[in-house]
Amino acid sequence: MGKPYSSDLRGRFVALLEDGLSASAAGAHLLARHGITRKKKTLVASEQKREDIVEARMRWRNGMTDLNIGALVFIGESGFDTKMTRLRGRSKRGQPCIDSVPRGHWHNNTFIAGLRSERVDAPILLPGAMDGDAFATWVEQALAPTLAADDIVICDNLNVHKNAAARRAIEACGATLSFLPAYSPDLNPIEMLFARIKAVVRAMAPRDFDALCTAVAALRNKPCYSRRSFFGGP
């Protein structure tokens, strides 16, 4: 592809304009020729550029290569509210695509689970936001019964996960608790699971907690729950 603002690229652009294309259409044509398309941005923490964070992320990745993948349990939470809807739709050219969602009465909820290479453990939808006490209760009552000796439980580096009661419950099973590097939720493969589940739940558009629970529970045996692909397998 020609360099940005090079005479070559300008020449192609002007030629398209002279052929009757609009500026936006000419630009889209040039980008499409080189396989460049408009995409939704994937945002990451700007702190990932810090030298200490770069080094921590590299150490973490290198340390993962020698671990037994079957012993890894990635923990994560994601918000599921009662105003979820599809992010995109269809409408006639030149007309807006309009949908409606609750603005005055809706509720935020938290979906939490543990992702293994072969299954999803202890998936639970909780009303409201996650805090340290709720996390400890989930670990003690839902996650701990699924753990075995030598399992490695990996969490995002958040204060809510650094709960003493939760650590005791994990270690009582013979497992260990580990944390991702700071500002690095993108290293947690469970985020891909959440993205798949949310895409399906948005299509269902549940408007109360019970309907949301039903929607999430109905996905347990669906393709969006496929686990191996999150760990680099089929």
Give the whole-number percent of the chain exceeding pLDDT 90: 65
115 closest CA partner among 202, 10, 228, 221 = 228
17 is written with which tokens? 């304009």
Query: In which band, very low, low, confident or very high, does the pLDDT at 35 lie, cut at 50, 70 and 90?
Result: confident
Specify the range with the lowest mean pLDDT, choosing from 38-52, 95-109, 119-133, 204-218: 38-52
- pLDDT tens string 44-62: 889 999 999 999 999 999 9
The fraction of the chain above a pLDDT of 70, given in percent, is 85
pTM score = 0.80
Q: How far apart are CA 11 and CA 90, in angstroms?
A: 35
26 pLDDT tier (thresholds 50, 70, 90): low
- Contact between 104 and 122 under an 8 Å Cβ cutoff? The reply is no
Which pLDDT tens digit goes with each residue over 3-12?
Answer: 555 566 667 7
State the chain's mean pLDDT as an integer.
Answer: 87
Per residue, what are the HEC states of 47-68?
Answer: HHHCHHHHHHHHHHHHHHCCCC
Cα separation, 84 vs 211, in Å, equals 12
pLDDT in tens, 192-206: 999 989 999 999 999
